[in-house]
Structure 1
Amino acid sequence: MCFKKVPLLAMNFSMPTTAPGRHLLSAHVLDSPIMAHEDAEPLNIRVHVADERLLRLIVEECAKREDSVIWLDKDGQMVVQEAVDFKQCPTMDAVVPGRGRDLSTCTDIALYVMHAGARIIPLLQAPDMERYSAGCGAATARLFWHTLYPPFISNHTDVLHLMLVDHNQLLVADARLHRRMAVFLCKTRVCVELMRRHVIRMRYSGHVWLMGHTSSDPSVDVRLGTQQKELSFLHIKGTSPLRHTQQLLRCWASQPEFPRLTVVGAFTWDEVKPYGDMLNIRFLPQVFQDTPFDQAPQLLAPGQLRQLQAETPVHICPSQSEGWGHTINEARAVGAVVLTTDHPPMNEFVSKRRGPGLVLPIERLLAHRELALARYAPLDALMSEAQLCAVVEDVLQMPAQEVYERGLLARTDFLYGKAVFMARMQDLEKYLKQRAQGLQDVSHGLGLYQAAAL
C-alpha cells in the first residue's frame, strides 16, 4: 500500500502560547474566542424551564458527593457512571472529586456540563491516569475549579488546561500551578480586571476570558401566585460565616416594628437563643433547646427553600465576599428586590441608581495576604448593623408598586444575563470542538506523512 504525502495543517488549535513576560498589552491577555453577546436574544421560557429542571437533576446527583462520572448523552439526557470510560473523550472534563461536590460547586460545574459539553470526573489513581492520558490525550480539555490537582496537569503542551476562577479564592500558594493554566474563565467583571493585572504581573502565558455565569431559578415549578402582598424579608445564611448575619439580626432585634425577617441557615441553639423572644424574626429550619449539642445543624430542604425564595418580596444578601453570588442571583430570578453589598462582585447585580435592587454601604475593606488577587484590591467588605438598618428603612418607605416593579426588572435582568451566558458558552463549546478536530486532523496528517516516508 502506498501513501500520498499531505501537508501538515498550519493552524495550531492548541492555545496560543506566549513566552513569560510577553503580555505587553492587556488586550493580548484578553484575546478570546468568546464574544460579548450583549445583544443576546431573550430566552424562550419553555427552554428556560426545561434547562432549570435539568440543572436541578444534575446538581442533585452531583451533590451526593460520590466519585461518579456525570455527563449528557447526544439526546441531552443525564448519564451517571461509576468509572471513567477511557474510550469516551468529550471536548472537556471537569475534575471534581466526590468530597468537593457541594451544592455551589455542583451548580457551577453542571452549567458547563449542560452548555459546553463537559463531563464531571473524579480524581484518578496513577494507573488510570495513564490510561486516561493515553486514551483522550490533548483532544479533551481539562477544567479545574478552586483546587488544582497536579496529577491532572499534563506536561504535554497540546493539553488545554482551564480554570474557572472565583477571584476571592485564588491562593498565593498555588502560583506554580496557576502558571500551567492556558485559560482563566471569569464569571464577573471584577474577576477579569484583577486576573488581567495578575497575569501580566506574574508573567503567566494564560489568557483571561469573560464567561459570565448564571444560577438556578427557584421560581420554576413552585406554586403560582404565592409572592406575599405584605412586605417581608428573607436572609439566606446557609453555612457561610461571611454574610453579616449577626449584624442583620442585631439590626432587626433593635427594631421590633420591622416586618418579619426569615433567616435560613444552619444554626445551633446558642446562636438563636438571644433572639427567641423576637416576634419578627423566624429561623428556618427551627432549632430547639433540647437539640443534642453534638447534632450537626440542619439545612432547609431544597423544595422548601425555593418556595420561600419565591414568596418573599425582599431578599437581604449582605455578603462580605463572593466569587459569584448564587443567593443574590437567585433572588433576582424570583423577582425579589435585592439588598446587597456595595462592593464587587455583589454590586454588579444591582445599581446605585433607581434599579432592581439597593446597595448596602460598607464600613471598611479587608485584604487577606493569602489571596493572590488581594494585592490589587481589597476583596472583603464589612458593614455595621446601623448601615443595614438604614437601607431597610428606605425599603419600608417604598410604595408597594415600586417594590413590585423593581422585582420585575430584577427578573428581566436575570433572564438577560442567562441568555448572554448561554451564548458565550456556545462560543466556548464551538472553540473546544474546533480545537479537538484540528488536533485530530494534525495527528492524522502526521501519520500519513510518516507512513509515506517509510
Structure 2
Amino acid sequence: MTENSSKFLWRSFQRHRTYLILTCLIVITVYNLSSFYFTIPSEPLTAYEFHETNPPPIDLYLPLNGTFSDSVAEKELRKVLDERTYDVPLHTSLLDWDRRIELYPKALMKTNWTNELPFGESLYFAKLQQICMTKKDAIIRSITPIQMQMESSFTDALVFKNDSALLSVLRDCSAIDVYFPEGLRGHGYCEDALAYLRGLKTRLLPRWVFTETFYDAADDRNLTYFEICPSTAVLFFNHYWDRLNEMEKWQERPIYLMPNIEMYELNAEHLWRSNVVLAKTVDAYQRITKWYQQNGNPRSTVVFYTRHTTSNIATISRSLVNSIEKDFDNVQITHTPGGSCQKNTHRICSCWERDSSMPSLDIFLDPELLRWEALSRYPWRRTNHSNYKLYTKDLSSRDYSDLLAHSAFFLCPSKMEGYGHYINQARAAGGVIITSNAPPMNELVTSTSGILIPVLNESSEKQLLGGKYGVLFGLKNAPGIAANVHSSEICEAVTRLVSKTSAKEREMMSQEAKKQYAFDTNFFLHKMKIIQTFAMENIAKKSELLTEN
C-alpha cells in the first residue's frame, strides 16, 4: 500500500469517525430530551369530567315595580334572570351559535327602573368612589341606608389597622368577603369593588387583613382572619390572588372569581380552582361556560350571569344643581379614555385629522397615554385645533361629574373591555353613546340607546377565552375578543349621528340609555342577593356536616 493510499484511508476513517460521533451525540440528545419530556406528566387533552355550571334555583322576591307587576313582565323578568336563557348547547360551538337574546325586553322597559335606585344611595357610592382611590390601606365595609345619610357615613365605612374597633369589625363575618389589595385601588377596580360592596353587603379587605394577627384581650391571644371567619368565601378579581389561596390556613375556603375575560394573565387554573364564577356580560358567561364544557369542571363550579353596575358619578353635580339640561341639538362629543390604550383614541385622531367637518370634540386623557406609540406619532397631539380640544390634567370627582352631567354625546369605540365602566357612567348620565358593535360594548349600548360602529373581530393567542389560545386548555372554536375598529367607520358613525338623527331622537336615545343602566343595576343587585343566599346556604350545609361528624 502506498503512502498516499494510507493517508487517504486514514482521512476517510477520521471523517467517518466524526460522522459517527455526531450521530451518536444526536441520538443521545434526542433520547435525553424525550426522557425529559416523558418524566414530566403531560396534560391530558381533556383534563376533568364536565359538571353542569348552572346555579341551583333560588327564588327570591322579584324586583318588579308595583305599577306593572303583571304576568307578562314577571315572565320576561324570570327569563332574563335565568342563566339557562344564555346557555349554549353542549355540542354547539360559539362560532356556530347565532341565537340573539333580547337583553332589554320591551315589557320590562315600560317602567322607570330609576325609581328603584334611591338618589341618596347613588350619591353616597359616587362619593365613595373617590375615597376608595385615596384610602388604599383601609377596610371598606357596608353601612346601612340610614348611615349613608349621616355626616359620619364615610368615617363609619372606613376601618384602619390601628382602629380600636378593628377586631369587632372583623368578627362581623360576611358570607363573602372581597380581597381588594392596595395596588388595585384605581378607577376601574374601585368601581367593581364598590358594586360588590353595595350588592353583597360585605367588606373590601386589603392584604394585611390576611397576613396580620389581631389581639383578643378577652382570651389573651392573637387571632388570624382565618380563625375569625373560618367559613367566609373570598372573592378575587381576575388573577390578583397574590397566592392567598396557597396559604396553609386557607384550607378549603370557597373561592369566588370575577374574571375580565380579555386579560392575558387569566389561565385555566384560575377557573378550575374557583368554586363560583361571576360573569358580568353574556359574552363572558357563554365563553366561560363553554370553556368548562370543553375542559372539565372538577369542583362543580357554578357560573352566575350577574350583569354589573357602575357608580352614577353625575349625581354629585345633580345634588348641587336643581336641574341640568343636555343640549341634543348641537352635537359636541366627549371622549374619556383616561389612561387606557384600548379605547381606540388613535383611530379617533386619524378620523378628525382627515375630516375637519367633524363636530367639536373634547378629549380627556392621562398624560402618560401620549407616550403610547400608536398615539405619539400623531401631530394631532397638539392641544388646540379648529374642531377639537385635548385635556391632559387629572379631573377631580366634581369636575368629572360636571362633565358627565352636561355632556350629551360620548364617543367610546373600545377595542375590548372587561365591562366598560366609562360607557356605563355615560349611560347613567343619560348620554348618547357611539361605541363598537362587539361585546361587551353592544350589550351596554343598543340600537335604541346609541350608535354602533361596525367592527372586525380579532383573536389573540394570549387570551385563554379568545378562541386561539397558544397553550393547552384554551377555549376552542370561538370568535376573537378584540374589536378592530377602522377610523373611517368611526367617522361614518359620527356622521350618521349628526345627519340622520333629530334632536328628539337623540333625547329618546338618552332616556333609553338611562333606563337600561337602571335596569342593569337592579338586575345586578338582585343577583347579588341570590349569590349571598347561595353562599349562606353553603355555609349552613358545611356547618351541618361538621356537626354530624
Q: Which residue of 70, 91, 95 maps to 2:175?
A: 91
- Tell me whether 1:102 sits opposite 2:186 in the alignment: yes
Q: Which residue of 484, 492, 501 maps to 1:382?
A: 484
Q: Is the CA contact (8 Å cut-off) linking 1:33 and 1:428 kept in structure 2?
A: no
Letter in 1 for 2:293: I
Letter in 2 for 1:165: P
1:306, 1:360 → 2: CA distance? 26
Deviation of 1:428 (Å): 1.6
- Tell me whether 1:347 sits opposite 2:425 in the alignment: no
Letter in 2 for 1:137: P
Moved more, 81-90 or 109-118: 81-90
TM-score, with structure 1 as normaliser: 0.82
Letter in 1 for 2:364: V
SS at match of 1:179: helix
- Tell me whether 1:415 sits opposite 2:493 in the alignment: no
Q: Is the CA contact (8 Å cut-off) linking 1:150 and 1:177 kept in structure 2?
A: no
1:84-233 equivalences under 5 Å are: 85=167, 86-124=170-208, 126=211, 128=213, 131-138=224-231, 140-146=232-238, 147-152=240-245, 158-169=252-263, 171=265, 174-204=267-297, 205=299, 206-222=301-317, 223=321, 224-228=323-327, 229-233=329-333
Shift of the 220–126 alpha-carbon distance from structure 1 to 2, 3 Å rule, reads closer
SS at match of 2:425: helix
1:247, 1:318 → 2: CA distance? 9
Point out 4+ residue stretches in structure 1 off by more than 6 angstroms: 154-157
1:323-342 equivalences under 5 Å are: 323-342=418-437
Unaligned runs of 5+ in 2: 1-45, 60-76, 81-107, 149-155, 215-222, 468-477
- Tell me whether 1:391 sits opposite 2:486 in the alignment: no
Deviation per residue, 1:151-188 (Å, 9 max, x gap): 2457767521100121112635x433432110110100
1:20, 1:72 → 2: CA distance? 40
Name the residue aligned to 1:369.
Answer: 461
Deviation of 1:439 (Å): 3.6
Name the residue aligned to 2:334.
Answer: 234
Deviation of 1:300 (Å): 1.6
1:177, 1:277 → 2: CA distance? 46
Letter in 2 for 1:59: Q
1:44, 1:281 → 2: CA distance? 34
1:128, 1:152 → 2: CA distance? 18
Deviation of 1:101 (Å): 0.9
Shift of the 154–197 alpha-carbon distance from structure 1 to 2, 3 Å rule, reads farther
Q: Is the CA contact (8 Å cut-off) linking 1:65 and 1:99 kept in structure 2?
A: no
SS at match of 1:240: coil
Q: Is the CA contact (8 Å cut-off) linking 2:316 and 2:398 kept in structure 1?
A: no
1:157, 1:114 → 2: CA distance? 28
Greater RCO (Cα-Cα under 8 Å, separation 6 or more): 1
Shift of the 32–438 alpha-carbon distance from structure 1 to 2, 3 Å rule, reads closer
SS at match of 1:61: helix
Q: Is the CA contact (8 Å cut-off) linking 1:256 and 1:278 kept in structure 2?
A: no
Shift of the 73–417 alpha-carbon distance from structure 1 to 2, 3 Å rule, reads closer
Deviation of 1:226 (Å): 3.3
Deviation per residue, 1:346-388 (Å, 9 max, x gap): 1112234xx11111111x3322222211123311111221111
Greater helix share, structure number: 2
Letter in 1 for 2:415: Q
Deviation per residue, 1:126-156 (Å, 9 max, x gap): 5649711122112x11000021232245776
Name the residue aligned to 2:11.
Answer: none
Name the residue aligned to 2:157.
Answer: 79
Shift of the 153–43 alpha-carbon distance from structure 1 to 2, 3 Å rule, reads farther
Name the residue aligned to 1:62.
Answer: 132
Shift of the 309–101 alpha-carbon distance from structure 1 to 2, 3 Å rule, reads same
Q: Is the CA contact (8 Å cut-off) linking 1:55 and 1:107 kept in structure 2?
A: no
Q: Is the CA contact (8 Å cut-off) linking 1:65 and 1:102 kept in structure 2?
A: no
Deviation of 1:324 (Å): 0.4
Deviation of 1:94 (Å): 0.8
Letter in 2 for 1:425: M
Shift of the 189–351 alpha-carbon distance from structure 1 to 2, 3 Å rule, reads same
Choose 1 or 2 for highest CA Rg: 2
SS at match of 2:278: strand
Q: Is the CA contact (8 Å cut-off) linking 1:148 and 1:177 kept in structure 2?
A: no
Question: Number of residue pairs matched?
Answer: 408
Letter in 1 for 2:435: T
Q: Is the CA contact (8 Å cut-off) linking 1:21 and 1:200 kept in structure 2?
A: no
Unaligned runs of 5+ in 1: 1-18, 286-297, 450-454
- Tell me whether 1:23 sits opposite 2:123 in the alignment: no
Letter in 2 for 1:317: C
Name the residue aligned to 1:53.
Answer: 123
Deviation per residue, 1:258-293 (Å, 9 max, x gap): 2211111113678586344522101224xxxxxxxx
Name the residue aligned to 2:99.
Answer: none
Q: Which residue of 356, 359, 372 maps to 1:256?
A: 356
Letter in 2 for 1:365: N
1:262, 1:322 → 2: CA distance? 22
Letter in 1 for 2:254: L
Shift of the 422–76 alpha-carbon distance from structure 1 to 2, 3 Å rule, reads farther
2:172, 2:544 → 1: CA distance? 18
Q: Which residue of 244, 267, 274 maps to 2:344?
A: 244
SS at match of 1:369: coil
Shift of the 253–117 alpha-carbon distance from structure 1 to 2, 3 Å rule, reads same
1:165, 1:175 → 2: CA distance? 12
Shift of the 87–31 alpha-carbon distance from structure 1 to 2, 3 Å rule, reads closer
Deviation per residue, 1:103-136 (Å, 9 max, x gap): 1101111111121122111114656497111221
TM-score, with structure 2 as normaliser: 0.68
Q: Is the CA contact (8 Å cut-off) linking 1:71 and 1:80 kept in structure 2?
A: yes
Deviation of 1:208 (Å): 1.2
> Alignment RMSD, CA only?
2.8
Q: Is the CA contact (8 Å cut-off) linking 2:435 and 2:442 kept in structure 1?
A: yes
SS at match of 2:157: strand
1:193, 1:213 → 2: CA distance? 16
- Tell me whether 1:284 sits opposite 2:391 in the alignment: yes
The alignment-based identity, stated in percent, is 18
